[in-house]
Amino acid sequence: MTQTNSLLPPLTERSGVLRWMRKNLFGSWPDAILTIVGALIIYWAVKGFLTWAFTIAEWEVVSANMRLIMVGQYPVKEVGRLWIALGFLVFLAGNSLAIWARKSYFVTILLLGFPALLAFLPIGDESRGWLFSLTALGLVGWGIGRSKPESLGKIVIFGWVISLPIFVLLTRGFTSEDGIMPIVGTNLWGGLLLTFLLTVVGIIFSFPLGVLLALGRRSELPAIRLASVTYIELVRGVPLITILFVSQLILPLFLPPNMTIDRVLRAMVGITLFSAAYLAENVRGGLQAIPRGQFEAAYALGLNGVQTMVFIILPQALRLIIPILVGQFIAVFKDTALVAIVGLLDLVGIAKTVLAQPDFLGLQREVYVFISLIYWVLSYGMSYLSQQLEVKLGVGKQ
């Protein structure tokens, strides 16, 4: 068997640019035409975009308003607090990467180097300094995590749990005007900061609600099942913008007269309630994929209903749907833009303020291209990280 084969010369495929082009670009006549059309489209689009971006576009509108786009009308002298809050997050991220992603050097370098990379953009010297210290802080966190990975795990998880309260506390402040951390009202929150907070709050609070709704939908108790199904289908059947308007205009009517809630908080409630319904459907998909035997085995081992769910079923179900969950989180991030329509000054809402300045009239293209770029980088980053996470957890391989 092997004897005759080894006598034959090995099969070789001649390689080379021409051969590759012939195979992949000019395989047949229709193929060749498509290639030429495609090349023309690329030439036209790239040339048009580059010409616009480097000769016509006036990017001063972006660089002059960078602070407005990032934090809105947040008081200048308090911005340092936000950097500290961000530093805490980067430090934790460095720690976590060192503990749970020891081998993922590429992701680590990418994530921790990102702030330093941003520092090369034309922004003020002060921000540049802060950005470099962010990367330094991340590296320090990484080094600490690297040296003591076993004992730090629990502390880092605790750190993540308290990170949102700390971030909100630092953003809002807690003392009166002349104290060390004067309160900054939510009406001054804006730009990327507001978008970030809306997204994070929406994701964190809609998650438990969505899991509960998914469990409710699969419950054997008809009253609970019916209530969950009604809620999920009702919310999924209407556009987000109606829910945001309802939460802005009608929610105050539902509350007792002496009780008022903040506009930003109302938007957060709207986004959370909306996202929970979609999340519930995703979680339900994961739950349905768990074979019945898992339930039976858990019962046979003497676990009760709640224990079965928390320790056996949910961990498996959630691991299965990680890519879908990340997709849902990205959708929440992109959907927070709609709060601009109800008058909040998030990344999109602030664009109107920027464009209303007499110096920068008519520069809509520049501003919206820049804002789209921010959305694109962050969404793409999230989906890239989720792919890495999937590989690490071995979803679909076991």
Cβ burial, residue 164 (10 Å; 0-12/13-18/19+):
middle
Q: Radius of gyration over alpha carbons of the chain, in Å?
A: 26
Pick the stretch among 147-155, 215-223, 263-271, 389-397 that binds another protein (CB under 8 A).
Answer: 215-223
Q: Which two tokens stand for residue 85?
A: 């809050």
- Inter-axis angle of helices 364-393 and 347-355, to 10 degrees? 160
- Please say which residue, 9 or 30, places its beta carbon nearer to another protein: 30
Close Cβ partners of 315 (under 8 Å, ≥ 6 residues apart): none
Query: CB 23 → another protein: shortest distance, Å?
Result: 9
**Closest-CA residue to 189 (of 81, 286, 276):** 81
DSSP state of 11: P
Applying CB under 8 A, does 380 fall inside the site for another protein?
yes
- Please say which residue, 54 or 254, places its beta carbon nearer to another protein: 254
Give the one residue of 125, 254, 306, 358 binding another protein; rule: CB under 8 A.
254
- Please say which residue, 179 or 239, places its beta carbon nearer to another protein: 239
Query: CB 223 → another protein: shortest distance, Å?
Result: 4
Rounded Cα gap, residues 338 and 241, in angstroms? 7
Applying CB under 8 A, does 59 fall inside the site for another protein?
no
**Closest-CA residue to 136 (of 160, 112, 169):** 112
Size of the site for another protein (CB under 8 A): 54
Give the one residue of 59, 83, 132, 245 binding another protein; rule: CB under 8 A.
245
Query: CB 15 → another protein: shortest distance, Å?
Result: 15
Residues 288 and 270: beta-carbon distance below 8 Å: no
DSSP string, 338-393: GGGTTT--BHHHHHHHHHTSGGGTT-HHHHHHHHHHHHHHHHHHHHHHHHHHHHHH
Applying CB under 8 A, does 375 fall inside the site for another protein?
yes
Rounded Cα gap, residues 293 and 297, in angstroms? 6
Beta bridge partners of 346: 191
Applying CB under 8 A, does 388 fall inside the site for another protein?
no
Close Cβ partners of 12 (under 8 Å, ≥ 6 residues apart): none
- Please say which residue, 18 or 168, places its beta carbon nearer to another protein: 18
Pick the stretch among 25-33, 265-273, 290-298, 313-321 that binds another protein (CB under 8 A).
Answer: 25-33
- Please say which residue, 158 or 380, places its beta carbon nearer to another protein: 380
Give the one residue of 161, 223, 306, 356 binding another protein; rule: CB under 8 A.
223
Which residues sit at the interface with another protein, rule CB under 8 A? 24-25, 27, 31, 34-35, 38-39, 41-42, 220-224, 227, 234, 236-242, 245-246, 249-250, 252-257, 330, 334-335, 337-338, 340-341, 348, 351, 364-365, 368-369, 371-372, 375-376, 379-380, 383
